[in-house]
Chains A and B, each alone.
Chain A
Amino acid sequence: MPNTQQLQDLTTQVRRDILRMVHKVNSGHPGGSLGCAEFFVCLYQEIMDRNDNFDMDGIGEDLFFLSNGHISPVFYSVLARSGYFPVDELNTFRLIDSRLQGHPTTHEGLPGVRVASGSLGQGFSVALGAAETKKLNKDNHLVYSLHGDGELQEGQNWEGIMYAAANNVDNIISTIDLNGQQIDGATDDVLPMGSVRAKFEAFGWTVVDIEYGNDIDAILKGMAEAKSLTGKGKPVCVLLKTVMGNGVDFMMHTHAWHGKAPNDEQLAIGLSQNAETLGDY
């Protein structure tokens, strides 16, 4: 089991991967990816019980679904560095004939991806379906999912959120990346949502807060608590407060880097703030 420093080192390397991937093709979504780097590292290195060999059906292991597919850079980096495919393949991000499409897909057969995402708001339903099948299969493993906060503006989420509590889907931990930003600006300016916690509670979910969603110890503690709350008849939601663009000072606390790649100079600054700990691809 990796210690906090090892997880921190991997996070730094993942940040470098994200920056280099989007810089190379001058496209992609670095802001949300950077904000969720610690979460992905903890999820794949520590929290999930997963098999080494990828199998679509995922029987006998925990599953993860990324609903806000635009943060594919962090997903791809962590999948590669967790052994799902060669790290070198990160070089092909968004290029023609690549398995690393702009948004994640099963279509090109990339190990680690179980459903396409990118068109927002569909991940709750898919994750809940997989959780129902786990119950039918008497498979006691869990289903994890991640969703953007802006993404909650899509109505389909609330169909799924309502379904989950009504049907006691208690083998799922759905995390909301509360970074408060979306493409057009602050979430509170674009379409204020009020209290996300109150909404999930009203819909019958158990809610866990992770106040410092870019702190590895806080994530591990919060997710352990979330795990302890599964199997009790209610679905579990984690509100993960993150800083968009975390780890690259000029990208932090703004929506400006939601879907914009750094230029050469900006890349150099970003990399200088994140040491090469495990070797660049």
Chain B
Amino acid sequence: MKTYTNTGNKDTRSGFGAGLTELGKTNENVVALCADLIGSLKMDEFKANHPERFFQVGIAEANMIGLAAGMTIGGKIPFTGTFANFSTGRVYDQIRQSIAYSDKNVKICASHAGLTLGEDGATHQILEDIGLMKMLPGMTVINTCDYNQTKAATIAIAEHHGPVYLRFGRPKVANFTPEDQNFEIGKAVQLTEGNDVTIVATGHLVWEALEAAKTLNEQGISAEVINIHTIKPLDDKAILDSVSKTGCIVTAEEHNYLGGLGESVSRVLAQHKPTPQEFVATNDTFGESGTPAQLMEKYGLNASAIVKATETVLKRK
């Protein structure tokens, strides 16, 4: 089984910050907006390098979304930054009308997604944002898994014309994807080859899926792990090709099972190749305060949960 090395824990939001810094140097049309969370979003360096292209909007997310939509008129590529909750649910109608329906080239960059925001609790831990964003016609939805991939994705979305939701997180997690990777929107990345089960994961759950695959391998179960960084458009072919071989699938995400990656995968399977599926996701619930590790354990979003789901799905084959 192919194995991956953690080159040192890093937060995905710092990958976003590094990507934005790079874009500042290479693309003069990139502008950045932030709603009073510059430090949390790691936008300090872009701001220092390009004060004229950086817009502090204050605690006013609705205005930030509208400003970004307007800034595209005249050729700018705005990147907005705030927490995932305030990037989506709080401003849904602004995104819907002024960005998505108006086909504006805005990149909505959302940190602190999911339970791993930790101690601040459920008011700040959104587990519904992938669903909200993927339902918007024309919206691309990306959830990156580590620092390197988040940096690569940040740079890649500037070249893509159209609205994008880029979701990442707060905690320091394993950094294991290549530093020089070519990020292709909508293209799943197969991490391991396997014959018994397909595990498709997104965001922080990708590393957990690799850990799970190691455990399963020791039990003689060969898992094919696929990193689905783009939830919309979904790489249907990669999923169908893999389940054609394995005959069952586990989906894993830091999100409600309603509206998330798992449901998108179910749709593909239902239409083209009905296949037993198990969901590693939150079960229609809000989060709570706690450390990221405690929360991921309590809500069943880690490697051991993926192993358990695999054992269940294998029995359904």
- Residue of A63, A160, A166 near B73 (CB, 8 A) is A63
Task: Report how far A96 CA is from B139 CA in the complex, Å.
Answer: 24
Task: Report how far A173 CA is from B70 CA in the complex, Å.
Answer: 15
Assuming A137-B74, A156-B94, is B101 touching A105 (CB within 8 A)?
yes
- Residue of A59, A107, A129, A137 near B67 (CB, 8 A) is A129
Number of interface residues of B (CB under 8 A): 32
Q: Does B53 contact A129, Cβ atoms closer than 8 Å?
A: no
Q: Does A156 contact B62, Cβ atoms closer than 8 Å?
A: yes
Task: Report how far A63 CA is from B64 CA in the complex, Å.
Answer: 20
- Residue of A57, A125, A162 near B98 (CB, 8 A) is A125
Assuming A156-B62, A159-B62, is B98 touching A126 (CB within 8 A)?
yes
Q: Is B69 part of the contact surface with A, judged by Cβ < 8 Å?
A: yes
Closest to A160 in B: B63
Query: What chain B residues lie within 8 Å of A107 (beta carbons)?
Result: 101-103
Task: Report how far A123 CA is from B69 CA in the complex, Å.
Answer: 10
Q: Does B60 contact A159, Cβ atoms closer than 8 Å?
A: yes
Q: Does A163 contact B102, Cβ atoms closer than 8 Å?
A: no
Closest to A59 in B: B74
Assuming A105-B102, A156-B63, is B71 touching A122 (CB within 8 A)?
no
Q: Does B53 contact A136, Cβ atoms closer than 8 Å?
A: yes
Interface size band for A: 35 or more
Q: Does B55 contact A137, Cβ atoms closer than 8 Å?
A: no
Task: Report how far A267 CA is from B292 CA in the complex, Å.
Answer: 66
- Residue of B55, B69, B78, B93 near A115 (CB, 8 A) is B69
Assuming A58-B74, A118-B97, is B102 touching A129 (CB within 8 A)?
no
Assuming A122-B66, A124-B66, A159-B60, is B98 touching A130 (CB within 8 A)?
no
Those of A82-117 within 8 Å (CB) of chain B: 105-107, 114-117
Question: Closest CB of chain B to A104's CB: distance in Å?
Answer: 10
Query: What chain A residues lie within 8 Å of B31 (beta carbons)?
Result: 136
**6 residue pairs A–B, Cβ–Cβ below 8 Å:** A57-B74, A57-B75, A122-B98, A156-B62, A163-B57, A166-B58
Contacts A122-B98, A125-B98 known; 6 new A-B pairs at CB < 8 A:
A106-B101, A115-B98, A129-B67, A132-B71, A136-B52, A160-B66
